[in-house]
Amino acid sequence: MRLAEIKTYQEANEFLKSYYLPKHNLKFSVRPKDNWDYHKKITQEELIKLEWLFAKSNERILRKNWTINYMKDTYQIIKNQEISRYNLVVKESIYWNIKIFNWKKELQFTKLVSR
Full DSSP string of 48-89: HHHHHHT-EEEEEEPPTTSEEEETTEEEEEPTTS--S-SEEE
CB atoms under 10 Å from CB of 15, counted, come to 14
Say what the pTM is.
0.61
Q: Each residue of 59-70: pLDDT tens digit?
A: 999 999 999 999
Question: Per-domain residue ranges for the chain?
Answer: 1-31, 48-111
Q: Each residue of 66-109: pLDDT tens digit?
A: 999 999 999 999 998 888 888 999 999 988 999 999 988 999 99
